Protein backbone atom coordinates (compact mmCIF):
# COMPACT_ATOMS: atom_id res chain seq x y z
CA UNK A 1 0.00 0.00 0.00
CA UNK A 2 2.79 2.39 0.89
CA UNK A 3 4.56 1.58 -2.40
CA UNK A 4 1.52 2.54 -4.44
CA UNK A 5 1.34 5.79 -2.49
CA UNK A 6 5.00 6.67 -2.99
CA UNK A 7 4.95 6.20 -6.76
CA UNK A 8 2.27 8.81 -7.53
CA UNK A 9 4.02 11.24 -5.16
CA UNK A 10 7.32 10.73 -6.94
CA UNK A 11 5.64 11.07 -10.33
CA UNK A 12 4.05 14.36 -9.31
CA UNK A 13 7.39 15.54 -7.94
CA UNK A 14 9.15 14.81 -11.23
CA UNK A 15 6.41 16.50 -13.26
CA UNK A 16 6.80 19.58 -11.11
CA UNK A 17 10.22 20.15 -12.66
CA UNK A 18 10.27 18.07 -15.88
CA UNK A 19 7.60 18.66 -18.53
CA UNK A 20 5.95 15.68 -20.26
CA UNK A 21 7.17 16.86 -23.66
CA UNK A 22 9.36 14.01 -24.88
CA UNK A 23 9.70 15.33 -28.43
CA UNK A 24 11.13 18.59 -27.16
CA UNK A 25 14.35 16.89 -26.08
CA UNK A 26 15.09 15.87 -29.65
CA UNK A 27 14.45 19.42 -30.83
CA UNK A 28 16.92 20.63 -28.21
CA UNK A 29 19.69 18.06 -28.58
CA UNK A 30 19.74 17.27 -32.31
CA UNK A 31 20.49 20.86 -33.46
CA UNK A 32 23.04 21.31 -30.68
CA UNK A 33 24.83 18.09 -31.63
CA UNK A 34 24.61 19.02 -35.31
CA UNK A 35 26.31 22.32 -34.53
CA UNK A 36 29.12 20.56 -32.66
CA UNK A 37 29.50 18.04 -35.47
CA UNK A 38 30.07 20.77 -38.04
CA UNK A 39 31.76 23.52 -36.02
CA UNK A 40 33.67 21.50 -33.43
CA UNK A 41 33.71 21.84 -29.65
CA UNK A 42 34.83 24.93 -27.71
CA UNK A 43 34.67 25.31 -23.94
CA UNK A 44 31.66 27.75 -24.00
CA UNK A 45 29.63 24.99 -25.66
CA UNK A 46 29.41 23.19 -22.33
CA UNK A 47 27.71 26.01 -20.38
CA UNK A 48 25.77 26.74 -23.57
CA UNK A 49 24.18 23.29 -23.27
CA UNK A 50 23.21 24.04 -19.68
CA UNK A 51 21.72 27.41 -20.61
CA UNK A 52 19.98 25.84 -23.62
CA UNK A 53 18.27 23.11 -21.57
CA UNK A 54 17.47 25.25 -18.54
CA UNK A 55 16.23 28.04 -20.80
CA UNK A 56 13.81 25.63 -22.43
CA UNK A 57 12.56 24.42 -19.04
CA UNK A 58 12.18 28.01 -17.86
CA UNK A 59 10.23 28.95 -20.98
CA UNK A 60 8.00 25.88 -20.76
CA UNK A 61 6.88 26.61 -17.21
CA UNK A 62 6.70 30.32 -17.96
CA UNK A 63 4.31 29.66 -20.83
CA UNK A 64 2.29 27.33 -18.59
CA UNK A 65 1.97 30.17 -16.11
CA UNK A 66 0.80 32.47 -18.91
CA UNK A 67 -1.64 29.89 -20.25
CA UNK A 68 -3.25 29.05 -16.91
CA UNK A 69 -3.08 32.59 -15.48
CA UNK A 70 -1.79 30.90 -12.33
CA UNK A 71 1.90 31.82 -11.98
CA UNK A 72 1.96 30.69 -8.36
CA UNK A 73 1.33 27.14 -9.47
CA UNK A 74 4.68 27.11 -11.29
CA UNK A 75 6.64 29.10 -8.75
CA UNK A 76 9.04 26.27 -7.84
CA UNK A 77 10.31 25.41 -11.35
CA UNK A 78 10.49 29.09 -12.31
CA UNK A 79 12.56 29.91 -9.23
CA UNK A 80 14.83 26.96 -10.00
CA UNK A 81 15.38 27.40 -13.74
CA UNK A 82 15.64 31.19 -13.91
CA UNK A 83 18.87 31.46 -11.87
CA UNK A 84 20.27 28.29 -13.45
CA UNK A 85 19.73 29.71 -16.94
CA UNK A 86 21.49 32.94 -15.97
CA UNK A 87 24.33 31.06 -14.26
CA UNK A 88 24.99 28.98 -17.38
CA UNK A 89 24.52 31.90 -19.78
CA UNK A 90 27.07 34.20 -18.10
CA UNK A 91 30.20 32.20 -19.00
CA UNK A 92 28.90 31.79 -22.55
CA UNK A 93 28.53 35.56 -22.91
CA UNK A 94 31.93 36.15 -21.32
CA UNK A 95 33.60 33.67 -23.64
CA UNK A 96 31.70 34.65 -26.77
CA UNK A 97 29.74 37.91 -26.44
CA UNK A 98 28.98 37.89 -30.17
CA UNK A 99 26.20 35.37 -29.57
CA UNK A 100 24.07 38.30 -28.41
CA UNK A 101 23.46 39.05 -32.08
CA UNK A 102 20.86 36.27 -31.99
CA UNK A 103 19.01 37.72 -28.99
CA UNK A 104 16.54 39.87 -31.00
CA UNK A 105 15.52 36.90 -33.16
CA UNK A 106 14.97 34.71 -30.12
CA UNK A 107 12.99 37.51 -28.46
CA UNK A 108 10.60 37.69 -31.43
CA UNK A 109 10.14 33.91 -31.59
CA UNK A 110 9.57 33.64 -27.84
CA UNK A 111 7.01 36.44 -28.10
CA UNK A 112 5.17 34.35 -30.72
CA UNK A 113 5.15 31.40 -28.31
CA UNK A 114 3.87 33.64 -25.52
CA UNK A 115 0.99 34.92 -27.64
CA UNK A 116 -0.11 31.40 -28.49
CA UNK A 117 0.23 30.35 -24.84
CA UNK A 118 -1.94 33.29 -23.83
CA UNK A 119 -4.55 32.14 -26.36
CA UNK A 120 -4.14 28.52 -25.17
CA UNK A 121 -3.24 27.42 -28.69
CA UNK A 122 0.25 26.01 -28.16
CA UNK A 123 -0.40 23.22 -30.68
CA UNK A 124 -1.05 25.66 -33.51
CA UNK A 125 1.11 25.06 -36.58
CA UNK A 126 2.64 28.56 -36.55
CA UNK A 127 3.62 28.18 -32.91
CA UNK A 128 5.25 24.81 -33.63
CA UNK A 129 7.19 26.26 -36.54
CA UNK A 130 8.39 29.17 -34.38
CA UNK A 131 9.74 26.60 -31.92
CA UNK A 132 11.48 24.75 -34.76
CA UNK A 133 13.25 27.90 -35.88
CA UNK A 134 14.32 28.58 -32.30
CA UNK A 135 15.84 25.14 -31.98
CA UNK A 136 17.69 25.37 -35.30
CA UNK A 137 19.20 28.76 -34.46
CA UNK A 138 21.47 27.03 -31.95
CA UNK A 139 23.52 25.75 -34.91
CA UNK A 140 24.74 29.22 -35.99
CA UNK A 141 25.17 30.07 -32.29
CA UNK A 142 27.64 27.18 -31.99
CA UNK A 143 29.37 28.42 -35.15
CA UNK A 144 29.80 31.90 -33.66
CA UNK A 145 31.28 30.36 -30.50
CA UNK A 146 33.72 28.43 -32.71
CA UNK A 147 34.55 31.70 -34.52
CA UNK A 148 33.46 30.23 -37.83
CA UNK A 149 31.49 32.02 -40.54
CA UNK A 150 27.81 31.18 -40.15
CA UNK A 151 27.77 30.23 -43.84
CA UNK A 152 29.83 27.13 -43.01
CA UNK A 153 27.01 25.64 -40.93
CA UNK A 154 24.12 26.68 -43.17
CA UNK A 155 23.86 23.27 -44.90
CA UNK A 156 23.58 21.53 -41.52
CA UNK A 157 21.07 24.12 -40.33
CA UNK A 158 19.04 23.61 -43.51
CA UNK A 159 18.97 19.83 -43.03
CA UNK A 160 17.83 20.12 -39.40
CA UNK A 161 15.29 22.84 -40.20
CA UNK A 162 13.76 20.79 -43.01
CA UNK A 163 13.72 17.67 -40.86
CA UNK A 164 11.92 19.22 -37.89
CA UNK A 165 9.51 21.20 -40.07
CA UNK A 166 8.57 18.02 -41.86
CA UNK A 167 8.30 16.19 -38.55
CA UNK A 168 5.84 18.78 -37.22
CA UNK A 169 3.59 18.12 -40.21
CA UNK A 170 4.06 14.36 -40.15
CA UNK A 171 3.39 13.96 -36.41
CA UNK A 172 0.20 16.00 -36.76
CA UNK A 173 -0.99 13.52 -39.41
CA UNK A 174 -0.33 10.69 -36.96
CA UNK A 175 -1.88 12.15 -33.80
CA UNK A 176 -3.72 15.47 -33.53
CA UNK A 177 -4.72 15.79 -37.20
CA UNK A 178 -5.05 12.08 -37.84
CA UNK A 179 -7.05 11.37 -40.98
CA UNK A 180 -7.09 15.03 -42.14
CA UNK A 181 -6.27 14.78 -45.84
CA UNK A 182 -5.05 18.38 -46.10
CA UNK A 183 -2.34 17.76 -43.50
CA UNK A 184 -1.32 14.48 -45.12
CA UNK A 185 -0.99 16.19 -48.50
CA UNK A 186 0.95 19.09 -47.01
CA UNK A 187 3.29 16.69 -45.22
CA UNK A 188 4.01 14.60 -48.32
CA UNK A 189 4.52 17.62 -50.59
CA UNK A 190 6.82 19.27 -48.05
CA UNK A 191 8.92 16.12 -47.75
CA UNK A 192 9.20 15.95 -51.54
CA UNK A 193 10.47 19.52 -51.62
CA UNK A 194 12.82 18.83 -48.72
CA UNK A 195 14.27 15.83 -50.57
CA UNK A 196 14.88 18.00 -53.61
CA UNK A 197 16.53 20.66 -51.43
CA UNK A 198 18.99 18.32 -49.69
CA UNK A 199 19.85 16.12 -52.68
CA UNK A 200 22.65 18.47 -53.85
CA UNK A 201 24.29 18.01 -50.42
CA UNK A 202 25.16 14.39 -51.18
CA UNK A 203 23.79 10.85 -51.38
CA UNK A 204 23.50 10.28 -47.62
CA UNK A 205 21.23 13.29 -46.91
CA UNK A 206 19.24 12.37 -50.01
CA UNK A 207 18.79 8.78 -48.78
CA UNK A 208 17.76 9.92 -45.30
CA UNK A 209 15.17 12.34 -46.65
CA UNK A 210 13.90 9.71 -49.06
CA UNK A 211 13.22 7.52 -46.02
CA UNK A 212 11.53 10.46 -44.27
CA UNK A 213 9.36 10.96 -47.35
CA UNK A 214 8.43 7.27 -47.32
CA UNK A 215 7.33 7.42 -43.67
CA UNK A 216 5.31 10.60 -44.33
CA UNK A 217 3.62 8.90 -47.28
CA UNK A 218 3.05 5.37 -45.97
CA UNK A 219 2.47 5.64 -42.22
CA UNK A 220 -0.51 8.05 -41.85
CA UNK A 221 -3.64 5.99 -41.30
CA UNK A 222 -1.77 3.08 -39.76
CA UNK A 223 -2.56 2.17 -36.13
CA UNK A 224 0.63 3.44 -34.52
CA UNK A 225 0.53 4.61 -30.91
CA UNK A 226 2.12 7.97 -29.99
CA UNK A 227 4.89 6.01 -28.25
CA UNK A 228 5.74 4.14 -31.45
CA UNK A 229 5.61 7.35 -33.46
CA UNK A 230 8.06 8.84 -30.98
CA UNK A 231 10.42 5.87 -31.18
CA UNK A 232 10.47 6.12 -34.95
CA UNK A 233 11.38 9.80 -34.67
CA UNK A 234 14.28 8.97 -32.37
CA UNK A 235 15.61 6.71 -35.11
CA UNK A 236 14.98 9.44 -37.70
CA UNK A 237 16.89 11.96 -35.56
CA UNK A 238 19.88 9.64 -35.45
CA UNK A 239 19.77 9.26 -39.24
CA UNK A 240 19.68 13.05 -39.65
CA UNK A 241 22.77 13.42 -37.45
CA UNK A 242 24.51 10.74 -39.52
CA UNK A 243 23.59 12.65 -42.69
CA UNK A 244 25.12 15.81 -41.25
CA UNK A 245 28.26 14.00 -40.09
Query: Do residues 153 and 32 touch, judged by C-beta distance below 8 A?
Result: no
pLDDT at 180 over 60: yes
pLDDT at 5 over 60: no
Instruction: Over range 22-41, report the average pLDDT.
Output: 92
* 178 and 68 part of one domain: no
Domain count, the chain: 2
- Average pLDDT over all residues of the chain: 91
- Tens of pLDDT, residue by residue over 71-116, are 889 999 999 999 999 999 999 999 999 999 999 999 999 999 999 9
* 55 and 139 part of one domain: yes
Query: Do residues 169 and 193 touch, judged by C-beta distance below 8 A?
Result: no
* 157 and 124 part of one domain: no
Query: Do residues 160 and 133 touch, judged by C-beta distance below 8 A?
Result: no
Q: Rounded distance, CA 57 to CA 110, Å?
A: 13
Q: Rounded distance, CA 180 to CA 169, Å?
A: 11
* 24 and 125 part of one domain: yes
- Find the domain containing 25 and state its range: 1-148
pLDDT at 8: 54
* 141 and 156 part of one domain: no
Domain boundary among 113, 128, 148: 148
Domain boundary among 148, 164, 199: 148
Residue 2 — very low, low, confident or very high, per pLDDT cuts 50/70/90? low
* 156 and 245 part of one domain: yes
pLDDT at 11: 58
| Nearest CA-CA partner of 118 in 130, 105, 128, 127 | 127
- Tens of pLDDT, residue by residue over 184-211, are 999 999 999 999 999 999 999 999 999 9
Predicted TM-score (pTM) of the model is 0.90
Amino acid sequence: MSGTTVRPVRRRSVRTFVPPQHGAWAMLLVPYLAGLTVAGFRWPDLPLLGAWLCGYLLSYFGFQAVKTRRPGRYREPLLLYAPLTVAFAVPVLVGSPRVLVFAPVYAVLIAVNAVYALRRRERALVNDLASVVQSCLIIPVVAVIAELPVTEVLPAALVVLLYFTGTVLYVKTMIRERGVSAYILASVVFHMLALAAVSPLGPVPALVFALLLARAWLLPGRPLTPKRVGLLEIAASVLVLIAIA
